[in-house]
A and B are shown apart, each in its own frame.
Chain A
Amino acid sequence: MSKYVPIIGLEVHCELKSNSKNFSSSKNGEGEVNTNLSVIDIGYPGILPVVNKEAVRKSIMVALALNCNIPEKLIFDRKNYYYPDLPKGYQITQFANPIGTNGYVMINVDGEDKKITIQDTHLEEDTANMDHLSTYSLIDYNRAGVPLLETVTDPCINSAKEAIAYLETLRNMFLYLDVSDARADLGQIRVDVNVSLKKENDDKLGTRVEMKNINSFSTVKEAIEVEIKRQMDILESGGVIEQETRRYDEVNKTTIFMRGKSDAVDYKYYIEPNIPPIKLRKEFIDEIRSKMPILEYDRKNKYINEYGISNVDASTLTKDKKLSDYFESIISFGANPKETSNVITGFLLGYLNKNYKNISDINISSNDFSDIIKMMSSGKISNKQVKDIFTKALDENISVLDVAQSIGTQISDKEEIRKIINNVFNENPKVIEDYKAGKNVNGFIMGLIMKKTSGKVNPGVTNMVLMEELKKI
């Protein structure tokens, strides 16, 4: 079966966050059906596009993060075709001069690093949303004209697993750069997949099959696996792969023929005449570069090298940008990074997992979180108390500081502990007898002390004082 190597290329469409649309001042965001629109979005006669600078900035940010070349001039093209979701009859996109070209991004698959090369990333406008009903279709133009960034890889991915690792890396990049919410469930990120099979030890690529508009990563994985299998079966039985576009049927787990090569549309691309080429000055690019947030990879290294957090924990913290942001916010209030990390990875994530919650569901302010960690660091509360405090606060949705108050803080004062120990001795004369008889009673006495104080004493200090007191007997 290893005669063939899968060759996969991905085209990822990502809706960018911005106040207004890519070429009009209509709102880019949620709204009642057909309310975020203007004459420009519905292509009324005489309208002209005006480029959204914010969308350009965000696109450049992505291009830089993908190590792409940025062109000297920003130029748009028209892609001409008729469909009701495209009111102007053409889409303004970038064909000849994408905003980023020849880049790469590193991904990690099963602990191995792999470089995914990026053909280009280009800025365009989204189409309207259509709802096809039995005898008619409805069009919602709210999405028409929303800035859309399409990132195209070279055919350099060799498995469904790599494809998913790349998609997750890319999505995280969008989130870290804060250019998109990148929610696949809302169609903010959509994937076209190209799959072909190449004979091992052969340089020639096989005939590729395209699958369009898949909007969940798990479906991408399934579709790739199913399509590889389909092509493999054809080739092994001596058949030929046709260049075509297929659709993945999620219910029957199979890909279905949509159209062949001869039906391919000629989009008649040509330069958009209403947008003069815009010079992308070096200072403009440098300014964007200087304001770029630190990305996942760099954050992870910082956690390991500066905070002494383990590789595994640093990965866990940075995999989810919201979690990483929360962590950074907590330590910004003075909590020790490593102890904070231990509480998050050693307790909090497990708690969330067990309760089917995620990090956004937590309403403990990072300041409060930090205070609790600080109490732990100064010995006022024990590690176990921290867990109890968080569990109670999260279960009952109450303030951690209030819980900490009510549970009480740890007793570390030697003389206070000494008093407690002597009280225990007085209340339990038999233990003293046993000690005098040479028995090891330390553990038993500790248990009595803990019980008496509801575990509030500092175990280390208590043990030390207990030894001193026992010696006096």
Chain B
Amino acid sequence: MTDKLIDEIRNSLDSGEITSDVLFDEAISKAYKYQNDYNCFVTILDNNRFVSGNSVISGIPYALKDNISTKGILTTGSSNILKDYIPLYDATVYKKLKEAGAVLMGKTVLDELAMGGTGTTGHTGIVRNPWDKNRMIGGSSAGSAASVALGIVPFAIGSDTGDSVRKPAAYGGIVGYKPTYGRVSRYGLFAFASSLDHVGVFARSVKDVSYVMDNIKGYDAKDMTSLPDEDISYVDNLDNDIKGRKLFYIKEAIDIESNSNELKNIISNFKDVINKCIELGFEVEEVSFGRELLEAVYPVYNVISCAEATSNNSNLTGIPFGNRIEGNDVNDIIMKTRTNGFSELIKRRFVIGSYVLQKENQDKLFLNAGRVRRLIVDRMNELFKKYDGLIMPTTSDIAPLFDKASDKLSEEYLILGNHLIIGNFGGFPSISIPSGFVNDMPVSVNITGRVKEDCLVLNMANKLESVLGCKGMVAKHE
């Protein structure tokens, strides 16, 4: 039952055909069953139970990324430095889900402190792709994506700083949504890069994402960057007419000369999607975005995210909390704690971050990155005057094999692989939905819309989903 869509689960709960306890036990038993092979969870909460709630998601089990603060429940950020850390407070998103009656069944594995896109760097081991164990699910919200793709839970919460919800969703054949910056409170989300961080949602349909969004969105006095409440239900507006809505795709990213059959097939899948869009009544145009801007996306992201990350993670010293390593004096304690607590990849990011923030480099690197970010966002906003959304293949590849080098900077990586980051630069709502298969692995398309127009983005994605034939997919069937 936990591999079904929310409407069906809700009906079964309401008709008394199933109870939330049975549903919860099913999620737990699946979690244990798949834990060895796929490693979705840092913590499985066997003893949690439905308490109360009367929302559409009440009584339904879900999973939460382990960088979201849960009072009294281990929250590690998948890092050794926090391996025993038990928070004293609840993140707003968790509190809202609790109030809605959703039942937390597990805390999911991520790339260490959400920095990474492979799902291989968490302190409890790698997360595998439910469609093919030899492949990555991608990250950083790896366990959340895999738990939904495996049918353990109907939805899960992740976080997205560059593509950390949308990419693993695409590799896992499920829907991944990153709302407008400020739509969902970040209070309690372990900060990676505050100006880019978003709480996001995984589910197996746009409607299910919308059900969850309707319960977690809203102004939070604890997050000064949160947006004012909007008096609107996303679910109620999913079927609005989209005739005449205009989409564009980026010419430079699609017009790629490549010998890779995989990429050719991904582009061909995308072109089929475009045709279906047109059949649905969308107008779709090819637009040249500007190669220089597109090539700048990844370096700009690298500079800004590393800079903010080094500052945001300066609280991890082992002094007020965390996994302290004793030393001769306070500096020695801090140094040993951080040296032992972080993996090499994290330290590399911190070094980059410190470097770009140094007085002598700051203007040239950090502040310039901010200026280019602004140019990219301005370009998007200019296009959004004419178009309602940007549609693109979510990724330039299918889920990579574990032995495939991941640090390459090929042309498609630079352009097609990084357009999702633009959504974080501008805080644009952005959704990935499965659109078919290439080499037996799921591929997806992604729609990014105007800031604050979450409702329209979900509406357009829902319409498109209805003709793609990939709604409600799970990788494993019992």
> Does the CB pair B87–A44 fall under 8 Å?
yes
**Which residue in A46, A50, A87, A139 is a CB contact (below 8 Å) of B224?**
A50
Size of B's binding interface in residues, CB under 8 A: 46
A51 in contact with B224 given A45-B77, A45-B82 (CB within 8 Å): yes
Name which of B17-25, B120-128, B252-260, B308-316 contacts chain A. B308-316
Within the assembled complex, what's the spacing in Å between the Cα atoms of A274 and B191? 10
> Does the CB pair B311–A46 fall under 8 Å?
no
Q: Mark A58-89, 1 if CB is under 8 A from B, else 0.
A: 00000000000000000000101011100111
> Does the CB pair A270–B362 fall under 8 Å?
yes
A268 in contact with B224 given A45-B69, A46-B191, A48-B186 (CB within 8 Å): no
> Does the CB pair A46–B330 fall under 8 Å?
no
Q: Mark B352-396, 1 if CB is under 8 A from A, else 0.
A: 001001110010001000000000000000000000000000000
Q: Does B282 contact A (CB under 8 A)?
A: no
Smallest CB separation, B332 vs chain A (Å)? 12
Q: Does B307 contact A (CB under 8 A)?
A: yes
> Does the CB pair B195–A50 fall under 8 Å?
no
> Does the CB pair B314–A89 fall under 8 Å?
yes
Smallest CB separation, A388 vs chain B (Å)? 61
**Which residue in A44, A83, A268 is a CB contact (below 8 Å) of B315?**
A44
Chain B residues closer than 8 Å to A44, beta-carbon distance: 69, 87-89, 315, 320-321
In chain B, what residue has the closest Cβ to A89?
B314
> Does the CB pair B320–A42 fall under 8 Å?
yes
A318-336 residues at the B interface, CB under 8 angstroms: none
Within the assembled complex, what's the spacing in Å between the Cα atoms of A82 and B337? 13
Within the assembled complex, what's the spacing in Å between the Cα atoms of A30 and B67? 34
**Which residue in A50, A87, A270 is a CB contact (below 8 Å) of B320?**
A87
Q: Does A260 contact B (CB under 8 A)?
A: no
Chain A residues closer than 8 Å to B69, beta-carbon distance: 44-46
Q: Does A441 contact B (CB under 8 A)?
A: no
Query: Which of A39, A46, A84, A270 gathers the greatest number of chain B CB atoms within 10 Å?
Result: A46
Smallest CB separation, A105 vs chain B (Å)? 31
> Does the CB pair B187–A80 fall under 8 Å?
no
Smallest CB separation, A287 vs chain B (Å)? 22
A273 in contact with B194 given A39-B88, A87-B315, A89-B317 (CB within 8 Å): yes
Q: Does A137 contact B (CB under 8 A)?
A: yes
Q: Does A276 contact B (CB under 8 A)?
A: yes
> Does the CB pair B188–A46 fall under 8 Å?
yes
Chain A residues closer than 8 Å to B359, beta-carbon distance: 266, 268
Chain B residues closer than 8 Å to A141, beta-carbon distance: 320
Smallest CB separation, A322 vs chain B (Å)? 37
> Does the CB pair B334–A274 fall under 8 Å?
no
A84 in contact with B319 given A39-B88, A50-B221, A89-B314 (CB within 8 Å): yes
A21-47 residues at the B interface, CB under 8 angstroms: 39, 42-47
Q: Does B85 contact A (CB under 8 A)?
A: yes
> Does the CB pair A266–B358 fall under 8 Å?
yes
Within the assembled complex, what's the spacing in Å between the Cα atoms of A49 and B354? 22
Q: Does B189 contact A (CB under 8 A)?
A: yes
A45 in contact with B191 given A80-B357, A82-B314, A268-B357 (CB within 8 Å): yes
Smallest CB separation, A190 vs chain B (Å)? 22
Smallest CB separation, B157 vs chain A (Å)? 13
A43 in contact with B315 given A48-B187, A266-B359 (CB within 8 Å): yes
Chain B residues closer than 8 Å to A268, beta-carbon distance: 311, 354, 357-359, 362
Q: Does B68 contact A (CB under 8 A)?
A: yes
Chain B residues closer than 8 Å to A46, beta-carbon distance: 67-69, 87, 91, 186-191
A89 in contact with B89 given A45-B191, A268-B362 (CB within 8 Å): no
Within the assembled complex, what's the spacing in Å between the Cα atoms of A51 and B67? 24
Within the assembled complex, what's the spacing in Å between the Cα atoms of A49 and B91? 14
Within the assembled complex, what's the spacing in Å between the Cα atoms of A46 and B76? 12
Smallest CB separation, B78 vs chain A (Å)? 12
Q: Does A275 contact B (CB under 8 A)?
A: yes
Query: Which of B77, B223, B224 gathers the greatest number of chain A CB atoms within 10 Å?
Result: B224
Chain A residues closer than 8 Å to B224, beta-carbon distance: 48-51, 274-276
Q: Does A297 contact B (CB under 8 A)?
A: no
Within the assembled complex, what's the spacing in Å between the Cα atoms of A273 and B317? 21
Within the assembled complex, what's the spacing in Å between the Cα atoms of A202 and B315? 47
Within the assembled complex, what's the spacing in Å between the Cα atoms of A90 and B316? 11
Smallest CB separation, A123 vs chain B (Å)? 15
Within the assembled complex, what's the spacing in Å between the Cα atoms of A431 and B270? 130
Q: Does B225 contact A (CB under 8 A)?
A: yes
Q: Can you list 22 A-B contacts with CB-CB less than 8 angstroms, sorted by A residue number? A: A39-B87, A39-B88, A39-B89, A44-B69, A44-B89, A45-B75, A45-B190, A45-B191, A45-B316, A46-B68, A46-B91, A46-B186, A46-B191, A47-B188, A49-B224, A78-B311, A80-B357, A88-B315, A90-B311, A268-B358, A270-B362, A275-B224
Known: A84-B330, A89-B314; 7 extra A-B contacts, CB below 8 A, are: A44-B87, A45-B75, A46-B187, A80-B310, A90-B311, A139-B320, A270-B307
- Chain A residues packing against B (C-beta within 8 Å): 39, 42-51, 78, 80, 82-84, 87-90, 137, 139, 141, 266, 268, 270, 273-276
- Chain B residues packing against A (C-beta within 8 Å): 67-69, 75, 77, 82, 85, 87-89, 91, 186-191, 193-195, 221-225, 307-308, 310-311, 313-317, 319-321, 330-331, 334, 354, 357-359, 362, 366
Q: Which 3 A-B pairs have the closest CB atoms?
A: A89-B314, A268-B357, A273-B194
